Each structure stands twice: as C-alpha cells, then as structure tokens.
Amino acid sequence: MPTPDQILEGLAAIANEQTWLAIVWHIILAGIIIALLARWRPERKLGAVAATLPLLSVAALALSAGNLFNAIVFFLFAILLLAVLSLGLPPGRVAPAPTWARLVGGTLIAFGWAYPHFLRGASTLKYLYAAPVGLIPCPTLSVLVGFTLLAAGFTSRAFSLSLGVLGMFYGAFGAFRLGVRIDVVLLAGALILMAFAMTIRTRPAPTS
C-alpha cells in the first residue's frame, strides 16, 4: 500500500496537472448554482444521476495516476448510485430541504468549491476557480454531499447513506491518515447526511 506521502504526492500531481478540468467543473457547478438560485428544481433522477458524473471523473484521473484503490472505489460507487439507486428513485422533482440542511449543504459546496489544499504556490483567487473539485476525492465528495443535502437526500435513504459512507471514509482517511485536517469538514458533513438519511421515509412496498 502506498505511504501517506506517496498518496499526497499523487493527489497533488492530479490537482496541479489537470487544472483545466477543475476549471471546467467549476463552470458546470456555477451553472447549476445559478439555476438553483433561479428556483429551478430538477427531476430527482436527473439530479441523482448527475451526481455520479464527478465520481467517474475522479475514478478516471485516479486510474491515470496509478491509484487503483481510488479508481476502483469511485467507479464502483458511481455504478452503485447510478444503476441501483438513482434509477430507482421515485418520480417527481427534488423536494425542498429544511433550512438547516440547505445551510449545511451550501457550506459544504463552498468548502469543496474553494478546497484550500494541493495547489502548489496558488493564490487565494486561484482556489476560487481551480480547486481540485471533480479531480480528487475530498473536495468532490464535499460538493456532492452538499448538493444531496440541498436536494433533501433525493428522497432516497439508500442514496444518501451510500454517499454518506463514502464521504465519511474519505473524510476520516484524509484528516487522520493523510494529515489533511480540513477534511474533518467532509467527515462532519457526511455524518450529518447519514443522520438526515434516517429521517427519510422509504416508499412502502406495493400491495398485491
């Protein structure tokens, strides 16, 4: 297994060599945020399926960098969320989340958007448009956990718990194994999402 220093070097290499892709992800996220502020409410399935795309991006970059563990984990979770959970969501548009969930979700999105780590010699301004969201695990998961909270968990306990488990693992690993202490923000957000998931009412089984 790679050492923490080797893992950090690999993540830093992705963040610094693929800044163009980080900028693309920031543009996409900006468009989504503007649409949400304009009171756009996407279909649950569309929103949940879209949430898997950054996971595939992280998986592809991890594979190109030789990090097979991250590549496999993110690919499998993307497939899990897409094929097993997202496509089985109840029809309808995203339900409004409680105020506290919107506040926590917005905070997590802002944290992932400007994730202040891994860019070498970067100014504060550069983090606002080139932080490695969509490139490496923790900022990407922070943004996805945030959007899932905004979407009231997409009304899916399974989706929310699955994403929460992934966020909890990477938040804890980053903060306590790799020494990136700011990842406790992701860890806290993932735990909040998992707690929120337990309040989501599952659909009753169909009667014969």
- One DSSP character per residue, the chain reads ---HHHHHHHHHHHHHH-HHHHHHHHHHHHHHHHHHHTT---BHHHHHHHHHHHHHHHHHHHHHTT-HHHHHHHHHHHHIIIIIIGGGSPSSBPPPPPHHHHHHHHHHHHHHHT--SS-TT--HHHHHHHS-TTTSHHHHHHHHHHHHHHTGGGG-HHHHHHHHHHHHHHHHIIIIIS--GGGHHHHHHHHHHHHHHTTSPPPPPPP-
The pLDDT value recorded for residue 206 is: 42
Q: Report the pLDDT averaged over residues 89-102.
A: 88
Residue 89 has pLDDT above 90, yes or no: no
The pLDDT value recorded for residue 208 is: 37
Q: What is the pLDDT of residues 21-77, one digit of tens each?
A: 999 999 999 999 999 999 898 888 888 888 889 999 999 999 999 999 999 999 999
- Average pLDDT value for the chain: 91
Q: Report the pLDDT averaged over residues 110-133.
A: 93
Residue 4 has pLDDT above 60, yes or no: yes
The pLDDT value recorded for residue 207 is: 40
The pLDDT value recorded for residue 202 is: 63
Residue 19 has pLDDT above 60, yes or no: yes
